[in-house]
Amino acid sequence: METPASAAVAPAAVIVLAAGAGTRMKSRTPKVLHPIGGRSLLGHAITAAEGTGPADLVVVVRHEREKLIQHLTEHASEVTVADQDEIPGTGRAVQCGLEKVSATSGTVLVTYGDVPLLEAETLRELVVVHEQAGAAATVLSARVADPTGYGRILRSQDGSEVLGIVEEKDATEDQRAIDEINSGIYAFDLEVLRDALGRIGTDNAQGEMYLTDVLGIARSDGRTVRALVTDDAMMVEGANDRVQLAQLGAEMNRRILERHMRAGVTIVDPATTWIDADVSIGTDATILPGVQLHGATDIGEDAVIGPDCTLRDTEVGARAEVVRTHSVLAVIGDEATVGPFTYLRPGTSLGRGGKIGGFVETKNAQIGDGAKVPHLSYVGDAEIGEGTNIGAATIFANYDGQNKHRTTIGKHVRVGSDSVLVAPVTIGDGAATGAGTVVRKDVPPGALAVNAVGQRNVEGWTLRRRAGTAAEDAARAALEGRPENGATPTAGPDADDNKEHQQR
Ligand code: UD1
Ligand code: CA
């Protein structure tokens, strides 16, 4: 059938069912709040529903109601919540949902909160097929190898018409042999749905109001009932336990990676790459093995990420390179380089062409264009101007035990290796610090700050204090100008050494 998505008309409502218990998850977290691909199962269901542009989007809740409502308030504040009462079954759930639907006619879609791979495009196609046929109900069905547990689609002798749906627990042996299953996703004519739900009972094996009975009722009333058969059975699968959750998570990841690769992203090893649904990646970016991109991470064009990076809510600029890095809520500029073995914490921003190198941790630090923190440093609560270089093993001492303070460093500053910058402190443009400087006072522009203690050499210390060691042997040989490891006499501690010891 011709079903151009452009012909789709927005439905009057989508009702997402999420009132069930989901006990097989064996979790304190409600089933539909378990995440895959960086979103809850319910979040995926809502995203698909939103993609059809419904006038009303209703989520039906009951089990763990408070937790679901809190989640919806945080992540999907535009949805309407409907409460299911004590009458069980999918039919009752939809009936409760309909109470929140303002329209009086049109198409209503029903979906489940625990079916995460379903996409808006399929729902739009369902609306088109349903409306073009002038149907009262259209069920999304699938043919599967093992139909156990699902409702079966009953068709007329020649197979052209849908007569109804029978639940497995109510089915005859012949009916159980049917391999076309009910996905639980439907398009309904709103008026037919309201009317039929008012006529269904609970006289079945489970004592529930079955939504599936609506199809048989509509058919008996002489209305058209259709099925749209999908060849993508996984797309309509629900997650009932953690084994299925992992399977659907892996499948979602596979689909996300495929989408990026088809859009021009190189993913060297899909088997070790995990990318959340909301991540965006520019053309010709390369993702090396062992990379996880989470949340709202955004990778620029031609950037190279990996191997072995975990980036969450991180923005990476065009042509930047990020190697073996763990990053949360950071911004990495165009052409900048980060890693290996680097930890970027929230509030880090690195300017264009800047560098944060190996064994560096940063937090709430704005590092300017072309500025570099190449080795072994902690940079917290700081601003570093453009073109500045932070020497190896520099520590920004931002915490005095009670409060955090900021360090401000100007442009083109040279901070010497092993400096400790005791915040709050400011180093002016073009200034420098000597190696090992503890900076406690502001440094004016262009000044050199030094305060390392003057060096004192205690002559012969090793000979006295490390007697009998290889160090003593080496020192003695050097002092006596002869090859090492001769039969040298071993010096015991002398009076001078004992005196020094007592002074400690
Ligand atoms: C239902 C269908 C079955 C279909 C299967 C697909 C009925 C009677 N049967 O079976 O034909 O093959 O889905 O998975 O509809 N829910 C509520 N309130 C309730 C009961 C369920 O909101 O009182 C919600 C659940 O949270 C879940 C969905 O409806 O999201 C399906 O519930 P579930 O119990 O899994 O449906 P089944 O009886 O297995
Ligand atoms: Ca089910």
Whether the CA torsion 344, 348, 352, 354 is positive or negative: it is negative
**Residues of the chain predicted below pLDDT 70:** 1-8, 484-504
**For position 485, what pLDDT does the model report?**
59
Residue 11 token pair? 């439905």
Give the integer Cα–Cα distance in Å for 142 and 231.
6
Contact 88, 208 (CB under 8 A): yes
**For position 453, what pLDDT does the model report?**
74
Please indicate whether residue 375 is annotated as part of the active site: yes
Q: Which ligand is nearest to the CA of 90?
A: 1
182 is in an annotated binding site: yes
**For position 489, what pLDDT does the model report?**
47
pTM above 0.75, yes or no: yes
Of 44, 65, 90, the residue with max ligand 1 atoms within 8 A of its CB, to mutate for a pocket test, comes to 90
Q: Which atom of ligand 1 is nearest to the CA of 167?
A: 11
Q: Which ligand is nearest to the CA of 150?
A: 1
Ligand 1 center from residue 49 Cα (angstroms): 18
Which has the closest alpha carbon to 71: 98, 91, 94, 41?
Answer: 41
- Number of neighbours of residue 243 by Cβ within 10 angstroms: 10
Pairing verdict, β 280-281 and 298-299: parallel
Ligand 2 center from residue 238 Cα (angstroms): 7
**For position 188, what pLDDT does the model report?**
98
**For position 243, what pLDDT does the model report?**
97
* CB of residue 430 inside a 6 A radius of ligand 1: no
> What residue ranges define each of the domains in the chain, with the CATH number in brackets?
13-236 (3.90.550.10), 263-449 (2.160.10.10)
Give the integer Cα–Cα distance in Å for 112 and 79.
15
Give the integer Cα–Cα distance in Å for 214 and 223.
11
What contacts 319, CB < 8 A, 6 or more positions away? 300, 301, 302, 303, 334, 335
CA 296: distance to chain centroid? 7
* CB of residue 210 inside a 6 A radius of ligand 1: yes
**For position 484, what pLDDT does the model report?**
64
**For position 168, what pLDDT does the model report?**
97
Which residue of the set 75, 375, 405, 412 is catalytic? 375
Which residue's entry shows tokens 């006990």?
A: 23
Torsion of CA 58, 60, 65, 66, to 10 degrees: 0
Torsion of CA 376, 378, 382, 387, to 10 degrees: 0
Ligand 2 center from residue 79 Cα (angstroms): 23
**For position 356, what pLDDT does the model report?**
98
Ligand 2 center from residue 255 Cα (angstroms): 23
- 180-221 pLDDT, tens per residue? 999 999 999 999 999 999 999 999 999 999 999 999 999 999
**For position 132, what pLDDT does the model report?**
97
**For position 2, what pLDDT does the model report?**
45
